[in-house]
Amino acid sequence: MKINFSSYPMVTLAQPTQLSLSELPAGRSAQVVALELDGDESAWLAAFGLFVGQRLTMVRRALAGGPLHVRAASGGEFALARSLAVRVAVIADR
Amino acid sequence: MAEPTPPRPSLAEPAVRSSDSVRSSPVTPTDATALLVALVGRPNAGKSSLFNRLTGGSARVGNFPGITVDVLEAPLALPSGRAARIVDLPGVYSLVASVDPATDEGIAQRFLDDSAAKAGGAVVVVQVLDATQVALGLRLTRELLARSEPLVVVATQADVLVAEGRVLDAHALASALGVEVVLVNARSPEASSPVLAAIARAASAPARATSFDPDALARAVVRDAAPSPRELHRRGFTARVDALLLHPLLGPVLFLALMTALFAGVFLVTEPVSALLDRAKDALAAAATSLLGKGLLASFVADGIVDGAGTVLTFLPQIVILTVTMELLEASGYLARGAFLLDRVFRIAGLGGRAFVPLLTGHACAIPAIQATRILRDPMERLTTILVIPLMSCAARLPVYGLLIAAFFAGASALARAAIFVTLYFSGIVLGLVAAVVLRRSVLRGRSLPLAMELPAYRAPELRVVFASTLRGAGRFVREVGTTILVAALALWVLLTIPMPGAKADGSPLERSLAAGLGRALEPVTEPLGFDWQINVGLIASFGARELMVGTLGVIHGIEDADEDAAPLAARLKDARSADGTRRYGVRTALSLMAFFVLACQCLSTVAAIRRETRSWRWPLFTLGYTYALAWVAAFVVYRGAGLLGLG
């Protein structure tokens, strides 16, 4: 079936965009909405303050695929490998 | 992970004993009648500060997540007069997330399980909770409440909380949890008595809540207010320092500069102190000789005992200064930043950023470094790190490097000689990382746990804690490494003194000794590397401890006090002639010997430490095997290569 895209009107997303924590730019804040981790990993990361509902700020991103420096709203900062961050879904603040 | 399971080592061995009232405990509690108080808490919660405060003694306070590697124990004076002991367990984030039992977290988990089983009801768990991170701490509280032991919650950092303009309602928290809650500043002397009283009360009246939501409870009991200007400044401080120290380009440069300065400083400061200790050793040996005459006993005391013990002491300054520096860096929070900076590079080698701490420590001495691998949560990474630590150029190799450079590169400029030194250091580091890559792709294949690590706020180290910890580190070095060096020195004295059965009567006593016989027997293996029997005797000596190489070569070449002043020995080595009048050792022999020394694990203490940490003979033997094979091949390549280049 051929769709003529131009016939659809431009839409503004009503839903805020969901992205992975690894994509969050430095300086931006976001809220964790889902974790794709096994039980042990979840328990381990929850202890650092990474759990669903937590608000996070991306402090800095190391070069060349290095770890991410994240601040948790509940207190404390931690370093997180990108391979873990891709499995953390967040909704970025506007 | 289908590959060979790494050995499941181990509860902590009693690594520290008998320093005043503080001693490290074998992990299983022993005395069933006394009350056992276990300090549990997240890393950096102020647990070790509280331990110091309660016991009057000192334990290590780390600002690097989970670096407390010893389980420290001390008697505790409760107001009720009941006999009690307190243990400072390694920091834990969670008791339910499963971990390798050999890591700090595993040690803490096992300790609690074992003590609960063995001591019956005579255990009180004291959770040290950082009052500035209540929600996170309460997650651990929830896990501890699910256990059967009576619990006391000690909320620390009361001073920081005040500065932040926040108020923790300890009464509300206590009634919500159903346990005693005490709010203190663990660094203040007033902290002890309310905590001790709460422990005494909790021991008799356990009562607890069933379930709660940590975040909701934290919101209910902590009242936020506007932070003081000082607090705003403090918060800004960590952010500003991080902006510099973790800068993508400047950060690594500053890190390298700091590490270079650290090592330069260690050498500059230790050189004169070591020389002084060496002179004291010689004076003692001379006194022994004049007291006991020239007989066998005098030789045993002067050359065996005094020399062996003295060798241990001359290495002490380096160990002490490196420990102090590491403690300061760790307590300040910088080591965690180093791990952050290095993580990407270390991933290539199949290691995580945190592995840099044990590898750095390995440049002073492999023994504490191997113990420091307990901060690594991933069993594969931990084992890999343990196996490559012996390739780092520890303090004991330096005299040998120094001797060979003095003997064969005396004509070179100071800069060229420094370059050789640096090359030797870096070849150890580079080959260590290469070995890690190879190990992670062969015998230690398997998925790594990705990095997840707290970055604590910078704070000023507590000096008395650093001091006490250094004292323990030095004590451990003297005990563990020192005993081995002493035993090796004594064994060497026997080998050099007792004649080989059936040796020809001509020649010096040394040439007829057991050591010479062994050295000659090894010649077929070492001939391709350019080593003759005299060098082999030195290698045999340094199998026990590398420190003994220079002194042994001195004995062989008839130089007294080669340890103190290597110049006469260097000249002797340079001018040594074979029977046919040709020069016995050339530059290529020196290069070959250096290559061998960089790589071979010539240290029985290291072998023992690997055995202890991995709880198997497999890995220490593997380390010996692979490092000696690597050393032989490298020495062979260097010797032949230098020959092809026309070096004498």
Write the CB contacts of B479 (distance below 8 Å, at least 6 apart in sequence).
B17
Residue B626's pLDDT is 92
Which residue pairs, CB below 8 angstroms and at least 24 apart, start in B566-572? Answer: B566/B399, B566/B402, B566/B403, B566/B406, B566/B407, B567/B406, B569/B403, B569/B407, B570/B403, B570/B406, B570/B407, B570/B410, B571/B407
Query: Using the beta-carbon criterion (under 8 Å), do A78 and B453 form an inter-chain contact?
Result: yes
User: What was the pLDDT predicted at B58?
Assistant: 47
What residues in B contact A44, CB-CB < 8 Å?
Answer: 93-94, 97, 452
Percent of chain B residues past pLDDT 90, beyond the cut: 7
Interface test with B, best of A78, A84, A87 (most B CBs within 10 A): A78
Average confidence (pLDDT) over A6-14: 50
Give the Cα separation of B389 and B639 in Å (integer): 25
**Three-state secondary-structure class, residue B2:** coil
Report the pLDDT value the prediction gives residue B586, as an integer from 0 to 100: 80
Mean pLDDT within B611-616: 81
Mention every residue, 6+ apart, whose C-beta is less than 8 A from residue A50.
A32, A35, A56, A70, A72, A78, A80, A88, B452
**Nearest-5° angle of CA B53, CA B56, CA B61?**
55
pLDDT digits (tens, 9 = 90+) for B521-577: 988 998 888 888 888 888 888 887 787 787 777 777 766 556 656 677 777 777 777
Q: Which domains are present in chain B?
A: 23-229 (3.40.50.300), 250-442 (no CATH), 471-644 (no CATH)
The nearest CA of chain A is from the CA of B443 a distance in Å of: 24
Length of chain B equals 648
pLDDT value at residue B622:
93
If pLDDT is split at 50, 70 and 90, which confidence band does B8 have?
very low
Least confident of A48-52, B141-145, B157-161, B564-568: B564-568
Q: CB distance A80–B344 less than 8 Å?
A: no
CATH superfamily of A16-92: Ferrous iron transport protein A (FeoA) (2.30.30.90)
Of B77-86, B208-217, B618-627, where does the model show the most confidence?
B618-627
Predicted confidence band at B29 (pLDDT cuts at 50, 70, 90)?
Answer: very low
Q: Are B29 and B115 in contact (CB under 8 A)?
A: yes
Under the banding of pLDDT at 50, 70 and 90, the label for residue B347 is confident
For residue B435, what are its two tokens?
A: 């070995």
Share of chain B above pLDDT 70, in %: 83
Helix then strand count (H, E) for chain A reads 2, 6
**Cα–Cα distance for residue pair B289/B300, rounded to 1 Å:** 10
For β-strands B35-41 and B123-130, DSSP reports them as parallel
Question: What are the residues of chain A with a beta carbon less than 8 Å away from any beta carbon of chain B?
Answer: 40, 43-50, 53, 59-60, 62-67, 69, 74-81, 83-84
Band of pLDDT at residue B6, cut at 50, 70 and 90: very low
Chain-chain contact of A45 with B452 (C-beta, under 8 angstroms): yes
CA distance B29 to chain A (A): 27
**Are A79 and B452 inside 8 Å of each other by CB?**
yes
Weakest mean pLDDT among B124-128, B150-154, B257-261: B257-261
Which one of B99, B133, B136 would you mutate to disrupt binding with A, by most A Cβ within 10 Å of its Cβ? B136
- What does the alpha-carbon distance between residue B251 and residue B340 come to, in Å, rounded to a whole number? 10
Q: Mind giving me the DSSP string for B397-418?
A: GHHHHHHHHHHHSTTS-HHHHH
The per-residue pLDDT for range A23-76, each reduced to its tens digit, is 888 888 898 888 888 777 777 787 777 888 888 889 888 888 889 999 888 777
Q: What are phi and psi of B504, to 5 degrees?
A: -65, 150
Kindly give, in sequence order, each residue whose CB lies less than 8 Å from that of residue B336, ignoring residues fewer than 6 positions away: A79, B63, B64, B65, B453, B454, B455, B456
Q: What is the pLDDT of residues B75-107, one digit of tens each?
A: 788 887 787 888 888 778 877 766 666 666 777
* Interacting residues of A42 by C-beta distance below 8 A, sequence separation 6+: A35, A51
Residue among A44, A69, A84 whose CB faces B93 most closely: A44
Distance of residue A87 Cα from the nearest chain B Cα, in angstroms? 12
Q: Which residue of B has its CA nearest to A80?
A: B452
Domain positions in chain A are 16-92
Tokens (6 digits) for B263: 């090592």
Q: Whole-number mean pLDDT of chain B? A: 77
Residue B623's pLDDT band (cuts 50, 70, 90): very high
d(CA B111, CA B108): 5
- The label of the residue with tokens 């270390």 reads B346
Residue B17, φ and ψ in degrees, nearest 5: -130, 155
pLDDT per residue as tens digits for the range B262-314: 777 776 777 777 778 777 777 877 787 777 776 677 777 766 677 767 767 77
Instruction: Identify which has the larger pLDDT, B316 or A69.
Output: A69
